Structure 1
Amino acid sequence: MRQSHVRLPVRAAFALVAGTLFAGTALAHGGGLRAASGDLSVPTWLFLLTGGGVVGASFLLASFVTDRAFIRAVHGWRRVADAPLDAAMALTRVLSVAALFGIVAIGLFGPERMFRNAAILLVWVGWWAGYVATIYLVGNSWPALNPWRAVAEWVPTLDREYPERLGAWPSVVGLLAVVWLEVVSPLADDPRLLTWVIVGYSVVTLTGALVFGPDAWFGKADPVARLCRYYGQVAPIQRAEGGGLELRPPGAALTDPLPDDGRDGVAFVVAILWVTTYDGFVGTPLWGDIARGAVGLGVPAVVLYPTALLAGYALFLGVYWLASGFSRRTAETYLKPDAIARRFAPSLLPIAAGYHLAHFLGLSLSLSPALVSALSNPLQPPINPSVIVLPDWFGMLAVAFVLLGHLLAVWVAHASAYEVFPGRLQAIQSQYPFVVVMVLYTMSSLWIVSAPSAAPPFV
């Protein structure tokens, strides 16, 4: 590889790490994992270099010991089973609508204490920490559980034409807005506030679905449905084209083109990746020092957090597009950077999934007894709900989840390269910029996971 081809990916990766170290985590979940992470018994620098080296070595191993036939055999393996999905969806949607009304009622009239209110625990522990993990570990069941889509399909709609110029950009804005709201408000602590946010989201979502139709709205604009659909691409169970369920190797569906093959689809993938990082950094002491220093210089906290959110996202997105451009040069291909960016974007999703699991599994397990207690008597739950104290070694599971997510990402990028480029050497060279970015992002993610917990300042 020529020397210029080395410098460019290194610069892009360095910019990515800089961005990771200067943007942040949501108030709702910061420290959920770190409370159970324990201390590292090795120097931090050695720990981070080892993690980055594992990802880099996996790329070299995949490049030298696999060929096109082997990759096609792995990704082509599948088993299809018939399943009465339509009948099951009719029942699950009725139950999900009832659950939505129950969450709103409990949020308004239940206990005000966070760990006693079933609405708070269901949304953050049951749904966001637990259920979302099943989407990328098992399969995307959200279409069968989406209460807003159920309501939209039960009533007549106007079926106005969805503005094509908007594409999926409303979902990108919506995902970033939800994270911003987590950071600047006690959304995970105040059940009344959470309830009104759910009501507001319901009004916006149902209005959009009733105007443009469920398919257009939940396919393009709704951030929750899109997040679940993208995470579902990581899972081993997929919905078969002819109906029923399809079992494939984990991540095999990621070598297919994005459901939305455009810049807006790439932007949403990068947004998923960015908010998982942002949802980890605000709880670290380093962010606390940065935030206090900025506020000391006269920057209002209400401006600091969304500015960091948007600046970090712009940096992540810009670095990814730069890596796509560098990939064109290292592969010496006629493909434009846009085409390369769209084709390799799905390989970022396992990284986001691995970090989500690392960040929230501890939270889900620790507070599961409190969730069960609150559900047993939503209006009068126990005064002092119990929690599970996780052992010190549990933090190493988080490290393993981060590494496994990155290893799967390297494999997906490797398999995608063989589908895009005809030559073996060309396919390998195309991955240089992306692998460098992944290695340094691995080190950044491991640093966030291993950092001691600190309360987010000024929020």
Structure 2
Amino acid sequence: MSGLQTHGLGGSTDLPIPFLYAMVGASWALTISFGVLALAWKEPRFEAVSDSAQGPEPLPRRRAWLSSIGLVVAAWWLGVLYLGPDDAANGGLGAFYIYVWVGLVPLAILAGHVWRDLSPWRTIQAVVGRLTGRPDGFVEYPAWLGYWPAVAGVFAFVWLELASPDPGSVGAVRTWVAVYAVVTVVAGIVLGPRWYDRGDPLDVYSGIVAHLSPFVADGRWTLHNPLRTLPRVPVHPGLVALLGTLLGSTAYDSFSASSFWQQKSLSSVQHTLTLIGFCAVVALLFQAASRATGGVTAEERSRLPGRLAHSLVPIVIGYVFAHYLTYLVEKGQGVAHALVGSEPDVTYVLSTHTSTLAALKVGFVVAGHVLAVVAAHDRALIVLPRAHRLTGQLAMLVLMVGYTFTGLFLLFSV
């Protein structure tokens, strides 16, 4: 097991869709989408003007039965991870990379922010809070801290997976999980439940992705247009950096699996610096494109990246499915067998249908970007001055096309 470096179809020659066709088609899809929006979508449809700067929506109480399941499953997984073998046969290792990280995204899409109920760390905090009489913690969570602890946690994970000396080391994963568990439990007890909404990388990741779930809204099962709940992603310091890290690390994952990069003999420090570069470039380019408009004050301009950041969420999700779907569906079967100690019996339901899989991969990337253009345009109608509603979006359109081009290039190059 070496992180998530064995997903996908292989090289570009293995993909039955011609690279140029995919690239041109994707670029035209975005450009035409923007043209249609510019001509026919002149008033915001997914949120009212007064709601554009809203804070987080109230969340329902945690469901005790799910919390109990979360505790049992977490205890089982930790037992397998820490008591199992010290090699790739350890089912807890695969579950860490596949189920906990990759599986979190489809779980949030299908069931909403159910991680909030399942999280064993929230359960421990709630119990300690009741026993101490401090359910909201001992110190108020600092507003200026925002999502920055989650940014650090997400980067720590992707570094372990993609840039550490041995991502398949059971010992390294055990150490990472131990540090994460101690930090998130202690921080939760001290700072209260707000820590999990802002600082816990897995909890925050799930909560953000859940805003694009078409099945769950405000903790209730209801079929709805997910573009109406997407704008409710809470805007706090570090949001762009968080989404940039998620998107940039996925891009680096593909890049590091390319034949060009595999031929290099690089140190962990060089891999780390390159990973940081990918994440920083994604975030900085989005910052620049968001601010590239006229007719706003310096204060309003500084707020634009955060107010448009929710449009990155569909791209993040699209890339996750494009890059990791095969890994989740097929290698996930092997992990399930390892967790219960049975002989692996994997059905390669995707890899054996290359045309279907290639179409899915390209489709996920393009769909993510089209949804991003729609979400950004709808929000731009609120946050940009009327005279700059179109010109102020041109830089963002160019960036989206650039993201698409780069994403498909990396998808076809591994």
Match of 2:155 in 1: 176
Look up the equivalent residue of 2:321 and give its one-letter code. L
Specify which of 162, 187, 210 is matched with residue 232 of structure 1: 210
- Report the number of matched residues: 395
Contact 2:17 2:359 in 1 (8 A): no
Specify which of 118, 127, 134 is matched with residue 154 of structure 1: 127
Look up the equivalent residue of 1:33 and give its one-letter code. G
Q: Which stretch shows the higher mean deviation, 356-365 or 56-65? A: 56-65
Match of 2:302 in 1: 338
Residue 390 (1) aligns with residue 352 (2): yes
Where 1:234 maps in the other structure, the secondary structure is: coil
The offset of 1:441, in angstroms, is 0.6
Question: Distance between the aligned counterparts of 2:37 and 2:217, measured in 1?
Answer: 29
Match of 2:184 in 1: 205
Question: Distance between the aligned counterparts of 1:418 and 1:44, measured in 2?
Answer: 35
TM-score (norm 1): 0.78
Residue 362 (1) aligns with residue 326 (2): yes
Contact 2:245 2:280 in 1 (8 A): no
Residue 219 (1) aligns with residue 197 (2): yes
Question: Distance between the aligned counterparts of 2:394 and 2:14, measured in 1?
Answer: 33
In structure 2, the CA distance between the partners of 1:99 and 1:54, relative to structure 1 (3 Å rule), is: same
Question: Distance between the aligned counterparts of 1:151 and 1:71, measured in 2?
Answer: 37
Contact 1:55 1:410 in 2 (8 A): yes
The offset of 1:435, in angstroms, is 0.9
The offset of 1:412, in angstroms, is 0.4
In structure 2, the CA distance between the partners of 1:186 and 1:395, relative to structure 1 (3 Å rule), is: farther
Where 1:68 maps in the other structure, the secondary structure is: coil
Residue 402 (1) aligns with residue 359 (2): no
The Cα offsets for residues 262-303 of structure 1, whole Å up to 9 and x where unpaired, read as: 4422322222222222232211123234x43xx4xxxxx121
Q: How does 1:56-455 map to 2 (within 5 A)?
A: 56-68=31-43, 86=61, 89-114=63-88, 116-156=89-129, 159-185=138-164, 189-213=168-192, 215-240=193-218, 244-256=220-232, 258-259=233-234, 261-289=235-263, 291-292=264-265, 295=266, 301-326=267-292, 328-329=293-294, 332-334=295-297, 336-375=300-339, 377-378=340-341, 381-382=342-343, 384-388=344-348, 389-393=351-355, 394-421=357-384, 423=386, 426-452=388-414
Match of 1:45 in 2: 20
Question: Distance between the aligned counterparts of 1:146 and 1:441, measured in 2?
Answer: 33
Question: Distance between the aligned counterparts of 2:273 and 2:28, measured in 1?
Answer: 33
Where 1:124 maps in the other structure, the secondary structure is: helix
Question: Distance between the aligned counterparts of 1:247 and 1:164, measured in 2?
Answer: 33
Question: Distance between the aligned counterparts of 2:2 and 2:300, measured in 1?
Answer: 39
The Cα offsets for residues 101-160 of structure 1, whole Å up to 9 and x where unpaired, read as: 21121112324452x432123222333233422313552211011111111111135512
In structure 2, the CA distance between the partners of 1:273 and 1:450, relative to structure 1 (3 Å rule), is: same
The Cα offsets for residues 332-357 of structure 1, whole Å up to 9 and x where unpaired, read as: 34473222112111101100000001
Question: Distance between the aligned counterparts of 2:17 and 2:70, measured in 1?
Answer: 46
Question: Distance between the aligned counterparts of 1:90 and 1:226, measured in 2?
Answer: 20
Using CA pairs under 8 Å that are at least 6 residues apart, name the structure with larger relative contact order, 1 or 2: 1
> Following superposition, which runs of at least 4 residues in structure 1 exceed 4 angstroms of deviation?
35-38, 69-73
Question: Distance between the aligned counterparts of 1:416 and 1:34, measured in 2?
Answer: 36
The offset of 1:428, in angstroms, is 2.3
In structure 2, the CA distance between the partners of 1:70 and 1:94, relative to structure 1 (3 Å rule), is: closer
Match of 2:8 in 1: 33
Question: Distance between the aligned counterparts of 1:370 and 1:445, measured in 2?
Answer: 28
Match of 2:56 in 1: none
Look up the equivalent residue of 2:120 and give its one-letter code. P
Question: Distance between the aligned counterparts of 2:377 and 2:145, measured in 1?
Answer: 32
Where 1:34 maps in the other structure, the secondary structure is: coil
Q: How does 1:11-26 map to 2 (within 5 A)?
A: none
Contact 2:44 2:379 in 1 (8 A): no
Question: Percent of pairs identical after alignment?
Answer: 25
The offset of 1:311, in angstroms, is 2.5
In structure 2, the CA distance between the partners of 1:285 and 1:251, relative to structure 1 (3 Å rule), is: farther
Look up the equivalent residue of 2:224 and give its one-letter code. R
In structure 2, the CA distance between the partners of 1:137 and 1:422, relative to structure 1 (3 Å rule), is: farther
Contact 1:366 1:387 in 2 (8 A): yes
Question: Distance between the aligned counterparts of 1:374 and 1:194, measured in 2?
Answer: 17
The offset of 1:413, in angstroms, is 0.7
Q: Which stretch shows the higher mean deviation, 218-227 or 333-342? A: 333-342
Please report the RMSD computed on the Cα atoms of aligned residues, expressed in angstroms.
2.9
Contact 1:133 1:356 in 2 (8 A): no
Look up the equivalent residue of 1:357 and give its one-letter code. F
Look up the equivalent residue of 1:427 and give its one-letter code. R
| Runs of at least 5 residues in structure 2 that lack an aligned partner in the other structure | 52-59
Question: Distance between the aligned counterparts of 1:187 and 1:313, measured in 2?
Answer: 21
Question: Distance between the aligned counterparts of 1:149 and 1:318, measured in 2?
Answer: 33
The Cα offsets for residues 386-418 of structure 1, whole Å up to 9 and x where unpaired, read as: 342432111221111111101110110111112
Question: Distance between the aligned counterparts of 2:26 and 2:385, measured in 1?
Answer: 31
Question: Distance between the aligned counterparts of 1:178 and 1:449, measured in 2?
Answer: 22
| Runs of at least 5 residues in structure 1 that lack an aligned partner in the other structure | 1-25, 77-84, 296-300, 453-459
TM-score (norm 2): 0.86
